[in-house]
Amino acid sequence: MTLVFATNNQHKIEEVRSVLPPSLNIITLREAGIDIDIPEPHDTLEANAREKAATIAKMCGANCFSEDTGLEVTALDGEPGVRSARYSGDGRSPADNIVKLLGRLEGRNNRSARFRTVICLLLDGSEHLFEGICPGRIADAADGADGFGYDPIFIPDGSSTTFARMSLAEKNSYSHRRKAMDKLVAFLNTLPLKRES
């Protein structure tokens, strides 16, 4: 099966491709000849994921999936959440987002947080949502150079280092995105059975 992955984020593409079974082929927006800034106007990850998938499905007329991810910090009532990309402003600067988040957590003992990914699959005109959650905590300071976004300050439960100090395979062993992708793949694996019944 071939699906268009409705994202402009190269890191997401690398992470997703590294966990795909051979039976599933992903086409990127660039490979599909689509060059747009995908809208994320809503106040939930679910609504944004649905909008991204619908936008790209209309443009390419093919089966596709999108995902929206947020970092939800307990002591900040779930912030930055759906605003994770633009937390420090429309410049979408990962470094500025991290500075702002660490600043808002200064002096707070509760560092617990989680990454949450919502995938929206549009398959033959039907919509399917899959969620992946990675619990963890916010480090006292940024540490590590790999990964992207908030990876330098996120330590998943079960680890003592940030995502930004992990290989792709190690991050995938904990990650929100991999968990949501696992659910998507498991769903696709049920399809032949469904079609027979």
Q: Which one, of 85, 70, 62, lies nearest residue 8 by Cα?
A: 85
Which position among 3, 72, 98, 150 is part of the footprint of ligand ITT (CB under 6 A)?
A: 150
- Asked whether position 94 contacts ligand ITT by CB under 6 A, the answer is yes
Cα 173-174-178 angle, rounded to 5 deg: 75
The answer to whether the beta carbons of residues 114 and 136 sit under 8 Å apart is yes
**What is the total count of residues that contact ligand ITT (CB under 6 A)?**
20
What's the 3-state SS for 13-72?
HHHHHCCCCCCCEEEECCCCCCCCCCCCCCCCHHHHHHHHHHHHHHHHCCCEEEEEEEEE
77 is catalytic: no
Q: To the nearest whole angstrom, how small is the minimum distance from the Cβ of residue 40 to ligand ITT?
A: 6
Site string for ligand ITT, 14-53 (x = CB under 6 A): ------------------------x-x-------------
Piece of the chain touching ligand ITT by CB under 6 A; list 3-11, 19-27, 137-145, 187-195: 3-11
Which position among 16, 64, 85, 105 is part of the footprint of ligand ITT (CB under 6 A)?
A: 85
- Asked whether position 146 contacts ligand ITT by CB under 6 A, the answer is no
Piece of the chain touching ligand ITT by CB under 6 A; list 6-14, 57-65, 106-114, 124-132: 6-14
For the segment 166-185, give every residue that binds ligand ITT (CB under 6 A): 177
Q: To the nearest whole angstrom, how small is the minimum distance from the Cβ of residue 106 to ligand ITT?
A: 21
Q: To the nearest whole angstrom, how small is the minimum distance from the Cβ of residue 12 to ligand ITT?
A: 6
**Number of CB atoms found within 10 A of residue 75's CB:** 15
Cα 71-74-77 angle, rounded to 5 deg: 90
Encoded amino acid at 192, one letter: P
Which residues lie near ligand ITT (CB under 6 A)? 7-9, 12, 38, 40, 68-69, 84-85, 94, 97, 115, 147-151, 163, 177
